[in-house]
Structure 1
Amino acid sequence: MSTPLMRRPFGIGFLVLMLALSADQLSKYWILYGLDLPERVSVKVMPGLNFTMVWNHAVTFGMFGGLGNAGRILFSVIALSVASGLLVWMARTPSKLTAACVGAITGGAIGNVIDRVRYGAVVDFIHAHAFGWSWYVFNVADSAIVCAVCVLVLQSVFSDRQQQAS
């Protein structure tokens, strides 16, 4: 008897991919058309958190922002290539946690590619700040990617420690 898809690592990873992608795209749709953030520019949500509209034409932390339309195409092709590799990793891993993390990273990457194709830039809007310190403005896709990478790093560190103790 075969195992149901959602009990397999790939099924879990694909579910997380779809959740991350959906949350990202729905949040951006609401920011653009529900809250109308492009018109309002910035809205205070609570102390230390604003929704601030930023059209990110570059990559992480604004790197390579001067490439124009060629950058949009280049970034999209690279992200889709990486996403393809991540899907292979997700299909091959026996670990449900690894598959879930890879799914979150892939969903986030695809969400940002959709923005680049649809709008010509990535929609960033989450702006955390406190005591004169301000973080870069980011989105749900970026959060999914960063959180999943952190979990993968922790998983690797604890796995290495466990192997060394044996």
Structure 2
Amino acid sequence: MNTSDPTGPGSKGWVWGPVSGLVLIVALIGLVLDQGSKLWLLYSVDLGNTGPYRLLPVLDIVLVWNRGISYGLFQQYNDLGRWLLAGLTIVATVALWVWSVRIHDRFVGLALALIIGGALGNGIDRVYHGAVVDFVYFHVGDFSWYVFNLADVWIVAGVIGLLIDSFFRSPNSAVK
């Protein structure tokens, strides 16, 4: 019998698995970096009153309150919508954690950790501020990208990691 199986005898089942330590540490580091950057910009720099700041000809630091999800979709301007999105964040985070508990692959664990850390960072914003704090604005000439934050970077990097695993790594490594 394989004792390293997260569902085997002596396991913690749905709570802890072979790469859970990695997932927890990376998710917490991502969360701290995200929240730290937002708190610093909001309260030390006072970005809402002193910005925007041009860092490079193609990069500005601005304050945008995103009341929706990715790319400003599904904007919510009432408390019901805000709390539904916060609840969705919790459900998604728990589902990603359960997935991470059941895997053995560190690469997939890292990808899931990035998504979890980013989701929690934006979820905390939604609960505490009523909207997600976005501040990085990338633009080139007439091309203008969405305003985003570090949590968004972690989520995109995690999704890219899962896609790399899906298309270029061993078959079914995400479930091994």
Q: Measure the CA separation in 1 of the matches of 2:77 and 2:43.
A: 28
Q: Deviations over 1:112-146 (max 9, x none)?
A: 11111111110000101112211000000000000
Given the alignment of the two structures, is residue 144 of structure 1 paired with residue 157 of structure 2, yes or no? no
Pick the structure with more helix per residue.
1
**SS of 1:93's equivalent?**
coil
* Residue of 164, 168, 172 corresponding to 1:158: 168
- Which position in structure 2 is the counterpart of 1:13? 23
Note the C-alpha offset of 1:66.
Answer: 4.3
Q: 1:35, CA displacement in angstroms? A: 1.4
- Distance across 2 between alignment mates of 1:153 and 1:18: 23
Corresponding residue for 2:54?
Answer: 44
Name the SS of the counterpart of 1:127 in structure 2: strand
TM-fit CA distance, 1:91: 1.0
The aligned length equals: 157
Partner of 1:77: 87
Instruction: Give TM-score, length-normalised by structure 1.
Output: 0.89
Question: Offset of 1:158 from its aligned partner?
Answer: 0.7
Deviation at 1:50, TM superposition (A): 0.5
Is residue 65 of structure 1 aligned with residue 75 of structure 2? yes
Quick check: 1:133 aligned with 2:154? no
Alpha-carbon distance in 1 for matches of 2:21, 2:140: 39
In structure 1, the partner of 2:9 is none
The C-alpha deviation readout for 1:137-165, integer Å capped at 9, x for no partner, is 0000000000110111011101268x9xx
Which deviates more from structure 2 when the two are superposed, residues 32-41 or residues 122-131? 32-41
Q: Among residues 38, 41, 63, which one is paired with 1:53 in the alignment? A: 63
Q: Percent same amino acid among aligned pairs? A: 37
Runs of 4+ in 1 over 2 A off after TM superposition: none
Unaligned runs of 5+ in 2: 5-17
On the 8 A contact 2:33/2:150 being kept in 1, the answer is: yes
CA RMSD of aligned residues (A): 1.9
- TM-score between the two structures when normalised by the length of structure 2: 0.84
Counterpart CA distance in 1 for 2:140 and 2:36 is 27
Asked if structure 1 preserves the Cα contact closer than 8 Å seen for 2:65 and 2:131, the reply is yes
1:65 is paired with a residue of what secondary structure?
coil
1:119 partner amino acid: H
Does structure 2 conserve the Cα–Cα contact (< 8 Å) formed by 1:14 and 1:100? no
